[in-house]
Amino acid sequence: MKRLAFLLLVSTLGLSAFAGTPVLNFKRLNAQAAREYNVPVRPGYEGRNPFWNGFSRKFIFAPAFGFPAVEGAVSYRYTLTTKAGDRSWSFTADKPNRPLSKVWKDVPPGDVVLTVQGLDKTGAPVGEPATRSFFRDFPFTGPYPEPVIPYREAALKTMRQVHNAPWIQAWLTQDEPDMAFKHYTYANKTIGGVINVECLVARNIPSLREEAIAIAKKAAGFIMGLAQGPDQPLAYLPPTYYKGLVASAKKENQGRTMALDALAVATALLNLYDVCGEKAYLDRAVAMAGTYRRLQRPDGSFPVKLDYATGEAFTDADAMLHPVVRFYTRLERQYGVTEFHDVLERAEAWMRDVALERFDLESQFEDVNIGGIKPYQNLTNCTAAPYATFLLTKPAPTAQEKQQALDLIRLSEDQFVHWDVFPDSCGVRPEIVPCVHEQYKYEMGTVSSAGNVANAWLDYYLLTGDKLSYAKAKALIDRITAVQDQRTGRLASTYRSRSAYKTDMFYDWVNCTYSALQSLLRMDAMTREKPE
């Protein structure tokens, strides 16, 4: 019975098979990390994709840049200099786009300036040098602080705190969201998050189960009622924006909806069905799947943004399809709904042949303007890491899929993980570290981003046995417990010191909280003694 209960927990949380807790030798792991950091992430000179790092601000892995060749140059002198100009490192290479691997391990964290100077056959400078400034970021150097409290206890404290929040409890007495909590203006994301967290409460806190299910049902009823009718272009899909607050008030969002945003609700309805067993929620999720089949283009892609009234594409940009493949995969594996396998196949083919080939893992958030974004201008871990998880949790991932997943994980670490930060002028670190920033246009550590990357690392560990991946995942999840207010259980979504002009509720993104709760429960499951 213990074994059955454990397997049910694993299935409910979407976890991979139990692998046990590895013994970590940090001397070896740190040396392994240093070696791996000398290998660039999908460099453009390989020809698989362009140089993707033109907008990058920092690097953990040795970078290579797409500097053009200089007429008359037969070699190039690379010089890295600290911002203060007090130290430098140099080497010579045959082309101007080679990685900085030869000196990378010797360069300490800090702002640096790279100069690449063409040289003629006599070694004399020729042409103008190319330059690039960036931050050489801190490498992984374990061990990191252990969790403040046990993972499950941390998760339970946050579940109870969120459940008792006024903007959650309001669902028990009213049929609409309490708009004092302004994040409800992002209806699908936030109300889907409410349903998801309340489903976790129902599963894990017996004394609150009945009330949690009542809240989840009330929230689900509202968001389903907000959706278009069965004969409309976006049948059964609720809108992204509600009540015209914050980003919902912006002109570019009026009458628009994010094409894949409603999948957050579809997934939440599946979770609610799992908890209460009422088939109406499964049926609505399947109906939404049918609408998405009609929206999918012949090449497998989806638009990013739609006119909500007509269902017509608002931009030419393509959506990143990690929510699509994960949703349809769950329908097949967990519920035996195989009628949409063609949608899954086409979406996966588009991600493989387009997104992964060009290696442009774009950020597509409802509160960030997506108009006029250049390729690679707003990368995010929130696309790269979840798609790595999808590839790694396939029944039998190929060698190519494993490598693609590893590339995506390394991109996420390279651009968004911060293993440490310099203290400010007062000697205080401005963020709790290690942390994971969300996107280029929101350089802020978030608990959901930590969960994204940690989850992918755990999947890679479970598939390959790579202990470094486990150590990195554990370090990120352990620090989630440090973000939590131990008095109240409140888990703010960001790692940075509070800004005085922001209200407390500004930091409570319930969808982010749900992601963090999943990570805490997953680590708890992996570190508990294996059931008999």
The pLDDT-based confidence of 529 (bands split at 50, 70, 90) is: low
Q: What is the per-residue pLDDT for 12?
A: 41
Provide the token pair at 211.
Answer: 């009330």
Collapsed DSSP state (helix, strand, coil) of residue 118:
strand
Confidence category of residue 314, pLDDT binned at 50, 70, 90: confident
Q: Which two tokens stand for residue 49?
A: 């994709």
136 or 315: which leads in pLDDT: 136
Residue whose C-alpha is closest to residue 380's, from 354, 404, 362, 407: 362
Max Cα–Cα distance, the chain, nearest Å: 82
Domains defined along the chain, listed by start: 1-24+143-148+379-532 (no CATH), 26-136 (2.60.40), 153-374 (1.50.10.10)
What pLDDT is attached to residue 230? 97
Q: With 0.85 as the threshold, say if the pTM is over it.
A: yes
Report pLDDT digits (tens) over 456-508. Answer: 999 999 999 999 999 999 999 999 999 999 999 999 998 876 554 465 666 79
Residue pLDDT, tens place only, 228-250: 999 999 999 999 999 999 999 99
Mean pLDDT over all residues of the chain?
93
The mean pLDDT of 28-39, rounded to a whole number, is 98
Q: If you average pLDDT over residues 327-348, what whole number do you get?
A: 98
Calculate the CA 372 to chain-centre distance: 23
- The pLDDT-based confidence of 513 (bands split at 50, 70, 90) is very high
Res 530: pLDDT: 53
Stated as kind and residue range, the H or E segment containing 161 is: helix 151-164
Looking at residue 509, its amino acid is W
The mean pLDDT of 180-185, rounded to a whole number, is 96
> Looking at the chain, how many residues does it have?
532
| pLDDT at 2 > cutoff 70 | no
How far CA 416 is from CA of 327, 385, 459, in Å, comes to 25, 11, 19
**Over the stretch 53-87, which tens digit does the pLDDT of each residue have?**
999 999 999 999 999 999 999 999 999 999 999 99
| pLDDT(169) > 50 | yes
Confidence of residue 373 (pLDDT cuts 50, 70, 90): confident
- For range 330-335, the mean pLDDT: 98
Mean pLDDT of 141-164: 98
Query: Looking at residues 369-380, what average pLDDT do you find?
Result: 89
- Distance, CA of 523 to CA of 149 (rounded, Å): 13
Q: What is the mean pLDDT of residues 414-420?
A: 98
Please return the burial class of 229, using the count of CB atoms within 10 Å of its CB with bins 0-12, 13-18 and 19+. Answer: exposed
Instruction: Summarize pLDDT for 396-405 with one digit per residue, the tens.
Output: 999 999 999 9
CB atoms within 10 A of CB 107: 17
pLDDT above 70 coverage of the chain, percent: 94
